[in-house]
Amino acid sequence: MKKIYILGSLIISQINFSQVVSPSNIILQKDKVIGNADFTTLVKIDTNSDNTADYTTVVNYQSTFNQKFAPTLTVGTSVNIWSENENGIKSAVVKLLVQDDVILLSSLLNNTLTSPKGKVQKEKSINDQIKEDNLALKNSTIKNKVTMLNAVFSLPVIRINSFRNEDPEKDGYSKADFFTSLGASYGVSFGELTTVRNESGTVVDEEFANTFSIYGGLLFSTTNGENTTSVIAPHLTISSLNIAAGVGYEFGQILDQQRRLFFTFSYNIPLFKLKRGSYYILKSSGQVNDTQNKNHGLAK
């Protein structure tokens, strides 16, 4: 019975061994080695033929690896390379000699040597990458400098209308009025995004400190300063800390001497204040602050 158990173990060991595929498409140079391997394995490299790994490198998601040598190897050095999975099961060893770059180039041109091939995968967007990185964050407060696309509701407080003088020989004049209106705008914001996560990694608070923004949109107002009804007015604003100065053009009803161009001072309410995550990150310049539990992975 014991002999059967030992024989069965040997058979299983051989099956597991064969499941680990050896590295392939290897190009061995004096200063580095590159090639293909299963991305679930580590690549081990023995540079002095003692059957012990002198270098261990990870395989990326495109199933390629790249290991630099320090110090560099000499031409003719025998190198052993193999893969090893998380259970310590090794692949068959690939034995190679370090060759001169000229010979390697000639082999590639003659198709006697194949260069490593990476899997073609769709590049991750900045937003997908940020979401993926944040999965590892727990009990954390992360701040990033970002450029984002987002929508805001504009609440103009003051509208400055300009008028022509009834006397053509006299200059026109301007008049500032408080008025009731509501606007919707879309644009680009530059600032600092703070994300707070709880023990399960769920976002519990999110705050964006707006340094500078440019928005374009429409104002829907009930008055334009003289109790005349305004239907719609295109509106362009620049803002900092959600306080905005803007210019608009009135397509609604106006007074006889009133010019259609007007200026506003308004307060912007970002949509993500009402609905979390209602923005799109165009660019992130990296983490500027990190207060968190050190047991999770490091964010970008």
From 13-27, 34-48, 52-66, the region with the lowest mean pLDDT: 13-27
d(CA 16, CA 251): 76
Instruction: Assess whether 132 and 273 both reside in one domain.
Output: yes
For residue 278, is it within any domain?
yes
How high is the pLDDT of residue 10? Answer: 41
Instruction: Assess whether 157 and 230 both reside in one domain.
Output: yes
Q: Does the pLDDT at position 293 exceed 60?
A: no
Determine the straight-line distance between the first and last CA of the chain, rounded to whole angstroms.
Answer: 56
Instruction: Assess whether 154 and 203 both reside in one domain.
Output: yes
Instruction: Assess whether 94 and 130 both reside in one domain.
Output: no
**How much is the average pLDDT of 126-154?**
72
Instruction: Assess whether 200 and 239 both reside in one domain.
Output: yes
Higher pLDDT residue, 181 or 49?
49
Query: Is the CB of residue 257 less than 8 Å from the CB of residue 164?
Result: yes
Task: Give the tens place of pLDDT for each residue, 150-190.
Answer: 999 888 778 888 888 777 677 777 777 776 677 889 999 99
For residue 9, is it within any domain?
no
How high is the pLDDT of residue 300? Answer: 31
Q: Does the pLDDT at position 7 exceed 60?
A: no
Which of 75, 109, 143 is where one domain is finished?
A: 109
Q: What angle do CA 213, 216, 219 make, to 5 degrees?
A: 120
Instruction: Assess whether 134 and 272 both reside in one domain.
Output: yes
- The total number of structural domains in the chain stands at 2
Instruction: Assess whether 131 and 219 both reside in one domain.
Output: yes
Q: Which of 47-56, 201-210, 230-239, 283-292 holds the top average pLDDT?
A: 47-56
Instruction: Assess whether 27 and 74 both reside in one domain.
Output: yes
From 27-36, 173-182, 229-238, the region with the lowest mean pLDDT: 173-182
Instruction: Assess whether 158 and 98 both reside in one domain.
Output: no
The string over 156-191, giving b where at least 16 C-beta atoms fall within 10 Å of a residue's C-beta and e elsewhere, is beebebebeeeeeeeeeeeeeeebebebebebebbb
Instruction: Assess whether 91 and 199 both reside in one domain.
Output: no
Instruction: Assess whether 41 and 103 both reside in one domain.
Output: yes
Instruction: Assess whether 281 and 138 both reside in one domain.
Output: yes
CB neighbour class for 138 (10 Å; exposed up to 12, middle 13-18, buried from 19) = middle
How high is the pLDDT of residue 8? Answer: 44
The residues with which 4 forms a beta bridge, in sequence order, are none
By residue range, what is the domain housing residue 76?
20-109
Cα 183 from chain centre:
30
**How much is the average pLDDT of 1-13?**
42
Return mean pLDDT, the chain. 77
Which of 109, 136, 167 is where one domain is finished?
A: 109
